[in-house]
Amino acid sequence: MRYKSLGATGLKVSRLGFGALQFTRIPEREAIKLVKTAYDAGINFFDTAHNYFNSEEILGKAIKGIRDKLIIASKSTSTEKKKFLDELNQTLTKLNTDYIDIFMFHDASNLERFTKLMQNGIIEALIKEKIKGKIGHIGFSCHNPEVIDKFYGIDEFEVIMLPINFVSKEFTEEKVYQKLVDNNIGILGMKPLGGGRLNNAELCLKYVKRYKEVIPVIGMEKLEELKQNIAYMEDNSGLKEKDWEEIKKIRQKLGEKFCRDCGYCLPCPQGINIPKVNFIKVYYDQFPLEDFIDDEREKEARKVDNCIECGECEEKCPYNLNIIDMLKENRDFYLEKAGRE
Ligand code: SF4
Ligand code: SF4
């Protein structure tokens, strides 16, 4: 396993990071085994969050005895100072540790949330926690390139977590990536596999590896996936012409309709699970056909009939997607493929 410095933090992080969200989908003993295997293979970076269900508790159990060898990141979504600090303390308790290496503002992706973070004294409070030694470094997770520029005004800004994949190229092939590098900010790449929407892990990781300062953080739930992703990250071969052709094809296919699954359009007043419905066509293309027809998926697709076209979701989507049209297309697609009226 190779390691690299994470921006100016002084942390030496494994070239592959482990995302612990998936721990909520597998038995606890399997999650613990995955962490131990990852650690034995040299992975020393694990990412979780206060709102990843019981991920922090499971990770806390898994890292018993090796905590001081690891770099752990977690996050809080709260924009209220007291709640934010409560969540920090809960994170430490659940992880069974007295410090967290990186603590991030989760989803600092729109200006309204960013303004609240600034006005509610959270940064100042976190700096105090940092001085006390509870937090090593302060960071943000963000899905919106327009908000990222605001972080540079905060002296304590050291780490960012943002989507890095060949479809969300607004973060890599625009000036966002280079500015972060020039400012020596540690970059954690979330959704390197498009949040499950891109199924060629080798191609995805070849793309991410072009951005040498990025530590991709992948949610993994099987030992096989873990071994394969490590092998892809260790492999030195870059993107060949045929890979670029494949990327071009996928980009064209997903076009301007690539829902990043960030959830910023939620909640919908009509209770429509927008990212889930937007995932229908992608699921059909990329996952086994026998799993496609599913009661839960059908229920979500049919809820699109309740859309009142209020436009709230489109206003909130950082990618300016035509959500109302996309929802209808995905609903119709499901009903057609499932042979429903
Ligand atoms: S436009 Fe439809 S899907 Fe979007 S928030 Fe309004 S009701 Fe929900
Ligand atoms: S529709 Fe937009 S805001 Fe909603 S999940 Fe997809 S990309 Fe995110």
Evaluate whether residue 226 is within a structural domain: yes
Cβ-based burial of 41 (10 A; exposed 0-12, middle 13-18, buried ≥19): middle
Domain finish residue from 240, 272, 299: 240
Report residue 37 CA to chain centroid gap.
22
Average model confidence (pLDDT) across the chain: 92
Cα of 313 from ligand 1 centre, angstroms: 6
Residues 278 and 325 in one domain: yes
Q: What predicted TM-score, i.e. pTM, was given to this entire model?
A: 0.85
State the helix-helix crossing angle for 241-254 and 201-209, rounded to 10 degrees. Answer: 110
Residues 218 and 96 in one domain: yes
Map residue 144 onto helix, strand or coil: coil
| pLDDT of 226 strictly over 80 | yes
Residues 44 and 105 in one domain: yes
Residues 221 and 279 in one domain: no
Evaluate whether residue 297 is within a structural domain: yes
pLDDT confidence of residue 19? 95
Query: What is the number of the ligand closest to the CA of 312?
Result: 1
Provide the number of structural domains found in the chain: 2
Structure confidence at residue 286 as a pLDDT band (50, 70, 90): low
CB-CB contact of 47 with 73 (8 Å): yes
pLDDT confidence of residue 189? 97
* Domain boundaries, position 152: 3-240
Evaluate whether residue 213 is within a structural domain: yes
Structure confidence at residue 197 as a pLDDT band (50, 70, 90): confident
pLDDT confidence of residue 253? 78
Residues 232 and 268 in one domain: no
Looking from the CA of residue 265, the nearest atom of ligand 1 is 5
Evaluate whether residue 133 is within a structural domain: yes
Domain finish residue from 240, 275, 292: 240
Residues 168 and 59 in one domain: yes
Percent of the chain scoring above 90 in pLDDT: 76
Evaluate whether residue 264 is within a structural domain: yes
Residue nearest to atom 1 of ligand 2 (CA): 259
Residue nearest to atom 8 of ligand 1 (CA): 268
Residues 34 and 156 in one domain: yes
Residues 95 and 233 in one domain: yes
Structure confidence at residue 266 as a pLDDT band (50, 70, 90): confident
Residues 200 and 302 in one domain: no
Structure confidence at residue 248 as a pLDDT band (50, 70, 90): very high
Q: Which residues pair with 218 in a beta bridge?
A: 18
Evaluate whether residue 225 is within a structural domain: yes
Cα 78 from Cα 213, distance rounded (Å): 28
| pLDDT of 255 strictly over 70 | no
Ligand 1 contact, 269 CB (< 6 A)? yes
Residues 286 and 234 in one domain: no
Evaluate whether residue 247 is within a structural domain: no
Residues 331 and 290 in one domain: yes
Residues 173 and 218 in one domain: yes
Query: What is the number of the ligand closest to the CA of 323?
Result: 2
Evaluate whether residue 185 is within a structural domain: yes
Q: Stretch 95-122: mean pLDDT, rounded?
A: 92
